[in-house]
Chains A and B, each alone.
Chain A
Amino acid sequence: MGATETLDRKSPQDRDAASSDTSTLRNNLTEEREDRTRNGSLSTRMLRADLRRTRTTTIVLAGLISLAALLAATGGSVLAQLTGAIGELFAAARTPDVVQMHAGAADVQAVEAWAADRPEVADWQVSETLPIPTDQLFLGEEPQSGSVLQPALVTQNATFDLLLGLDSEVLEVRPGEVAMPLYYRQTQAVEVGDTVSVRLPDARFDFTVADFVRDSMMNPTFATSKRLLISEADHRAIADHIDEPEYLIEFLMADRADTKAVSDAYTETGPATNGPLLDRSTFFLLNAVSHGIGIAVLSLLAVLMLAVAAIALRFSFLTAIERDTHEIGVMKAIGIPKKGIRRLYLSKYVALAAIGGVVGSLLSIPAARAITSSLRLQLGEPKGSTWLSAAPILGAGLIVIAIVAWCALMLRRLGRISTMDALRAAAAPRRRRAWWPTRTSKSRLTTSQLRPELWMGLNDIRRSFRTHRMLLAVLTLCTFLFLVPLNLWTTVTSPTFITYLGTGVADLRLELRTPEAVESAPELLSALEQDADVARLAGFVTARFEALNTDGEWEQMPVETGDHQVFPLSYVKGSQPDASDEVSLSSLAADSLGADVGDTITLRGATGANGVTIVGIYQDMTNGGRTAKGLVPVDGEQIVWRTVLLDAVDGVAPSELAERLSSTFPAVQTIQMSEFADQTLGDLIRQTGTVAVVAALTALVLAALIAAMFAQMIIARDRSQIAIQRGLGVSDRALRFQYVTRFVVVLVAGIGLGTLLVATIGRSMVASVIGQLGAPALRFDVEPLLAYVAVPLSLTATVAIVALIATGSFDNLGIDQLNEE
């Protein structure tokens, strides 16, 4: 046999040995796999046993995590839909980059010449609009007098600023038809097929509602201008009856970065500047803010819910550790590595987080659809995109990651448990130090006059405050969550909210916006002064001035001139102007100019520039929030509009006076102040109401969940103490009283703390958000019955009921529990 043969051919023994080795290896691998399966099953069995044992706690934790994930996913979804929808709407409508509104004759050729001179301008157009006084616009037989809106009839543009229908297609209407702004469908229940008529003094035009307009510029309630789309033929026919049409002079940029430069240039040198100038970013902001408040609230709620879940998880974890200290000691003693023990606990929390994330994501689908119904109506349904699908998953994913990271952090505590301490822990009762120092000279129960069960409940809180910290923190958050939106709602619906709209408090507000109305001002004022139903009145002129800001640039500054003492504003600082060289500014105007009370700014009008002293700062959420008030004489400046505020005499209903004045002065918009806020900020007010209801329900549900979880944990922790007392003959009723006492006392403290936080942090938070709209010094107009009676009562009732149910039966805490101590 050659060497090669030896190498190439195994002997029968070698073959057997090799075969045996392979078989052994195969067996070993199989055993190892079986071991892992067995151990994996063991972990699963332990996890299942733990979940069964702490069912209520587990359900509550899963519920909290699901809620947090739901809110985050919904917020993400709404944000994605909002940004997507606005983007798609603007793209489909080819929203202009710069829009100059102009009242009066417009020299189209001058505009053309101006635009031709600007290479930045890619396209331009002048669109004629026919403003219709609200008392001449009828929905069915209902005149729209009393509305703060400024409706105007328009035709479809050719190339950009397109008015879209609900299917996002460019709208076309036939003669006799009108496409109405969505506002009317949402607030006035106008439907396709309804009749709308324009009843001018010398002619009447009837239309049938054919569709609704998705107007990329004027959809939001903040925009009081509304465009009603009619045919060219109808437009021509009506134009003959309108003395003073208005115009939208619109520009599209070749490069959007040039928008500001073109806007500034037009302000300086453009022909036809009798009105405000707005740009695309303003339209974007108006659309976003209308729906964005919901996102802000959802985000805040998600963060709050996450905080509550984190607190509850920590409490659950600490309770589990305390309960399992001995078992952990045993596991360590027999050599199970720290990593393995940690994995056992982490697996539960990872499972909870995963379940919560999935449930929250799934529930966010219908939730987001419900919340975005108004958004989708106004802006259209965004097309499917990766971002649209990913955003809610991302939101929920962030929550899951945060939860798992938090749990991993908490589980480091496991490493600090010494084996021997853990094994000994079960043998000796742990000393519980009171949260505050106790006097050891006297035994407290013996000296207390309280009922024993009441005293026991209070003593338990005192002795184990750490245990109650979680409940206190969450109930404080619940109170905060309940009160902030509620206080905001009572504030925006209170009659004094008017002061945040840059106007004094009066019964009626008359707005003279059309040139015809402005010209009729002297006659109107004279008639009002002699009107026996008018108790007092003040007339104002808002004229276009410019103010020099800190960058050395001139900014548009509409200044309202008139007697500001008759219907004074609420001032954040200072007071109303008393002299012609004094002005008060809105908060945003003051910020924009970098000025404060006492400073002097330069105001430029038709006759030149003068220094004026700022004597007061007020809040104004209307007209972009940048306004000024003064006694500056109007001498050649362009008048933007006139207003009159008046009070009716006692005994005369403002609504009746409003109706009479409307019919006497049809060109003037007569608005009851009680409706002014609603019409100007209707969306914001409605959203605030919805948010207040949602927040209230969330707070109550949260309080109930946490109370249930806390009750289960605390009773489980105290099971031996309960059994001892039952063994001694303490009645179940007395025991229940003890535990309910703990809940109610902690709740009262939580309500107190929460109310304090609302008045401080809560108010600041809301003011900083609302401040962006012009009211940075917002103060809550608290309704005491609601805030200080209804809220505490509802929270107390919820927590007390849950506590009573949770402590309903101690039957299962009997004698066998004694032997576990």
Chain B
Amino acid sequence: MTAVHLSAHDIHKSFGEGDAQTKALRGVDLDIDRGDFVAIMGPSGSGKSTLLYCLSGMDHVTEGTVTLHDSGSGSVEITALHQRDLAALRLTRMGFVFQQVHLLRNLTVLDNVVLPGFTATPDDRGSVVTRAQELLNRVGIGELADREITQASGGQLQRAAIARALINSPDLVFGDEPTGALNAATAAEIMDLLTEVNRDGRTVVLVTHDPNVAARARRVVVLRDGVVDGDLRRNGSQTDDQWAESLAGWLTSHGT
């Protein structure tokens, strides 16, 4: 039986107050298995990014609970944690890849990758640096370690972001439209990397509006107006093309 890694129960998220209040999520229930590769899709305003940030503890839910299940140390209710503990959790147990990369402008590529590592294990800098360089090599930009981030392309920076996401060996990786700002070829390369990350045993949850990207996942959750509209799983016998076709057909029939 595959263990549940992350579970969300009856998640509500509202923004604003009174007449200006908008409900982004209206009671979402979602269990994500350990080692799964999940894509969250939906039209603009469906609440997919909001769901991602609530699952990762970056944003507070209005109602509901999110629980991180750890095979070793038990479960942690993310929604009950204090800000300080949430930060520690994100630092050591989670990795993030964003559409706009979000690297720190005053640091080199390598510095950006080591920063979370130094923060998590300040006493073991040597290992962190070694690991960071290995990760950069793995994602194909080892030679760019000392470059300023303004001296790298969008695709190279996104690779660096993936390396940063992995520096503390998290078992859960989130991505918010990681290929949104990239051309098709580069997007494909990034998705190859994320697939590889998933094959390493990490749970990957990403948000996308692109069916081609979603098709790289094994499970696609579709949101509409803040609720789960569809939950598709790839069965083991489907080829890539069959899965993509099945997914596209469902999306078309549901007007997504």
The B-contacting residues of A in range 418-451, CB under 8 angstroms, are 428-432, 440-446, 451
Give the distance in Å from the alpha carbon of A441 to the alpha carbon of B108 in the complex.
11
Give the distance in Å from the alpha carbon of A459 to the alpha carbon of B105 in the complex.
11
Q: Which of B87, B98, B120 has its CB near the most chain A CB atoms (within 10 A)?
A: B87
| Contact across chains for B119 and A730 when beta carbons are under 8 A apart | yes
| Contact across chains for A721 and B119 when beta carbons are under 8 A apart | no
| Among B40-48, B89-97, B205-213, B227-235, the stretch in contact with A | B89-97
- Chain A's closest residue to B154 (CB) is A428
| Contact across chains for B58 and A814 when beta carbons are under 8 A apart | yes
Give the distance in Å from the alpha carbon of A451 to the alpha carbon of B125 in the complex.
11
Give the distance in Å from the alpha carbon of A819 to the alpha carbon of B108 in the complex.
22
Known: A443-B145, A815-B53. A727 touches B118 (CB 8 A): no
Q: Total interface residues on A, using CB and 8 Å? A: 38
Contact of B91 (CB < 8 Å), options: A724, A729, A733: A729
- Chain B's closest residue to A720 (CB) is B102
The A-contacting residues of B in range 48-106, CB under 8 angstroms, are 53, 58-59, 83-84, 87-92, 94, 96, 98, 100, 102-106
| Among B109-117, B215-223, B239-247, the stretch in contact with A | B109-117
- Chain B's closest residue to A724 (CB) is B102
| Contact across chains for A452 and B106 when beta carbons are under 8 A apart | no
| Contact across chains for B108 and A443 when beta carbons are under 8 A apart | yes
A443 to chain B, nearest CB (A): 4
| Contact across chains for B118 and A731 when beta carbons are under 8 A apart | no
B141 to chain A, nearest CB (A): 14
A460 contacts partner chain B, Cβ-Cβ < 8 Å: yes
Give the distance in Å from the alpha carbon of A729 to the alpha carbon of B170 in the complex.
12
A818 contacts partner chain B, Cβ-Cβ < 8 Å: yes
B129 contacts partner chain A, Cβ-Cβ < 8 Å: yes
Total A-B contacts with CB atoms under 8 angstroms apart: 104
Contacts of B31 in A (CB 8 A): none
| Contact across chains for A818 and B98 when beta carbons are under 8 A apart | yes
- Chain B's closest residue to A444 (CB) is B111
Contact of A429 (CB < 8 Å), options: B105, B115, B119, B120: B105
B148 contacts partner chain A, Cβ-Cβ < 8 Å: yes
Known: A446-B129, A452-B119, A731-B84. A818 touches B146 (CB 8 A): no
- Chain B's closest residue to A721 (CB) is B104
Contacts of B100 in A (CB 8 A): 818-819, 821
Give the distance in Å from the alpha carbon of A540 to the alpha carbon of B109 in the complex.
81
- Chain A's closest residue to B107 (CB) is A445
B22 contacts partner chain A, Cβ-Cβ < 8 Å: no
Give the distance in Å from the alpha carbon of A728 to the alpha carbon of B115 in the complex.
9
| Contact across chains for A445 and B114 when beta carbons are under 8 A apart | yes
| Contact across chains for A452 and B118 when beta carbons are under 8 A apart | yes
Mark A131-155 against chain B: 1 for CB-CB distance below 8 A, else 0. 0000000000000000000000000
Contacts of A821 in B (CB 8 A): 100, 102
| Contact across chains for A730 and B145 when beta carbons are under 8 A apart | no
- Chain B's closest residue to A811 (CB) is B83
A463 contacts partner chain B, Cβ-Cβ < 8 Å: yes
B77 to chain A, nearest CB (A): 18
Give the distance in Å from the alpha carbon of A201 to the alpha carbon of B89 in the complex.
95
Q: Which of A464, A725, A727, A733 has its CB near the most chain B CB atoms (within 10 A)?
A: A727
Contact of A729 (CB < 8 Å), options: B119, B146, B148: B119
B217 to chain A, nearest CB (A): 22
| Contact across chains for A815 and B114 when beta carbons are under 8 A apart | no
Mark A779-821 against chain B: 1 for CB-CB distance below 8 A, else 0. 0000000000000000000000000000000010011001101
Contacts of B84 in A (CB 8 A): 731-733
- Chain A's closest residue to B126 (CB) is A446
Known: A730-B87, A731-B88. A724 touches B104 (CB 8 A): yes
| Contact across chains for A443 and B146 when beta carbons are under 8 A apart | yes
Contacts of B83 in A (CB 8 A): 732, 811
Contacts of B150 in A (CB 8 A): 428-431
Contacts of A731 in B (CB 8 A): 84, 87-88
| Contact across chains for A726 and B87 when beta carbons are under 8 A apart | yes
| Contact across chains for B111 and A725 when beta carbons are under 8 A apart | no
B163 contacts partner chain A, Cβ-Cβ < 8 Å: no
B39 contacts partner chain A, Cβ-Cβ < 8 Å: no
| Contact across chains for B53 and A445 when beta carbons are under 8 A apart | no
Give the distance in Å from the alpha carbon of A72 to the alpha carbon of B90 in the complex.
55
Known: A443-B146, A446-B129. A729 touches B58 (CB 8 A): no
A734 contacts partner chain B, Cβ-Cβ < 8 Å: yes
| Contact across chains for A429 and B149 when beta carbons are under 8 A apart | yes
- Chain B's closest residue to A433 (CB) is B148
Give the distance in Å from the alpha carbon of A452 to the alpha carbon of B124 in the complex.
13
| Contact across chains for A728 and B116 when beta carbons are under 8 A apart | yes
Give the distance in Å from the alpha carbon of A442 to the alpha carbon of B129 in the complex.
12
- Chain A's closest residue to B91 (CB) is A729
Q: Total interface residues on B, using CB and 8 Å? A: 42
- Chain B's closest residue to A735 (CB) is B87
| Contact across chains for B58 and A815 when beta carbons are under 8 A apart | yes
| Contact across chains for A442 and B106 when beta carbons are under 8 A apart | no
Contacts of B53 in A (CB 8 A): 815
- Chain B's closest residue to A819 (CB) is B100
Known: A445-B111, A728-B116. A721 touches B105 (CB 8 A): yes
B122 contacts partner chain A, Cβ-Cβ < 8 Å: yes
Known: A451-B122, A811-B83. A728 touches B105 (CB 8 A): no
The A-contacting residues of B in range 172-190, CB under 8 angstroms, are none
Give the distance in Å from the alpha carbon of A629 to the alpha carbon of B105 in the complex.
70
The B-contacting residues of A in range 457-495, CB under 8 angstroms, are 459-460, 463-464
B82 to chain A, nearest CB (A): 11
Give the distance in Å from the alpha carbon of A463 to the alpha carbon of B106 in the complex.
7
| Contact across chains for A459 and B102 when beta carbons are under 8 A apart | no
Known: A445-B114, A732-B84. A727 touches B107 (CB 8 A): no
Mark A69-112 against chain B: 1 for CB-CB distance below 8 A, else 0. 00000000000000000000000000000000000000000000
Contacts of A724 in B (CB 8 A): 102-104
A432 to chain B, nearest CB (A): 6
| Contact across chains for A727 and B146 when beta carbons are under 8 A apart | no
Contact of A727 (CB < 8 Å), options: B90, B92, B111: B90
Give the distance in Å from the alpha carbon of A819 to the alpha carbon of B52 in the complex.
14
- Chain B's closest residue to A464 (CB) is B106
Contact of B110 (CB < 8 Å), options: A429, A443, A729, A734: A443
Contacts of B129 in A (CB 8 A): 446
| Contact across chains for A727 and B58 when beta carbons are under 8 A apart | yes
| Contact across chains for A432 and B106 when beta carbons are under 8 A apart | yes
B73 to chain A, nearest CB (A): 17
Contacts of B114 in A (CB 8 A): 443, 445-446
Contacts of B92 in A (CB 8 A): 729
Contacts of B125 in A (CB 8 A): 446
Give the distance in Å from the alpha carbon of A429 to the alpha carbon of B94 in the complex.
26
Known: A445-B114, A814-B59. A728 touches B90 (CB 8 A): yes
Give the distance in Å from the alpha carbon of A99 to the alpha carbon of B148 in the complex.
80
Contact of A445 (CB < 8 Å), options: B58, B96, B115, B148: B115
B115 to chain A, nearest CB (A): 6
Contacts of B147 in A (CB 8 A): 440
The B-contacting residues of A in range 514-554, CB under 8 angstroms, are none
| Contact across chains for A442 and B96 when beta carbons are under 8 A apart | no
Give the distance in Å from the alpha carbon of A456 to the alpha carbon of B118 in the complex.
12
Contacts of A429 in B (CB 8 A): 105, 149-150
B106 to chain A, nearest CB (A): 4
| Contact across chains for A452 and B122 when beta carbons are under 8 A apart | yes
- Of the A-B pairs whose beta carbons lie under 8 Å apart in the complex, a sample of 24, sorted by A's number, is A429-B149, A430-B150, A445-B111, A445-B118, A446-B110, A446-B114, A446-B125, A446-B129, A452-B122, A721-B106, A728-B91, A728-B116, A728-B119, A728-B164, A729-B88, A729-B90, A729-B92, A729-B119, A729-B120, A730-B91, A730-B119, A731-B88, A734-B119, A818-B98
Beyond A445-B115, A728-B91, 5 additional contacts (C-beta under 8 Å) are A456-B115, A727-B96, A728-B164, A729-B88, A732-B87
Interface residues of A (CB under 8 A from B): 428-432, 440-446, 451-452, 456, 459-460, 463-464, 720-721, 724-734, 811, 814-815, 818-819, 821
10 closest cross-chain pairs (CB), A and B: A729-B91, A729-B90, A431-B150, A445-B111, A443-B110, A463-B106, A452-B118, A815-B58, A443-B108, A724-B102
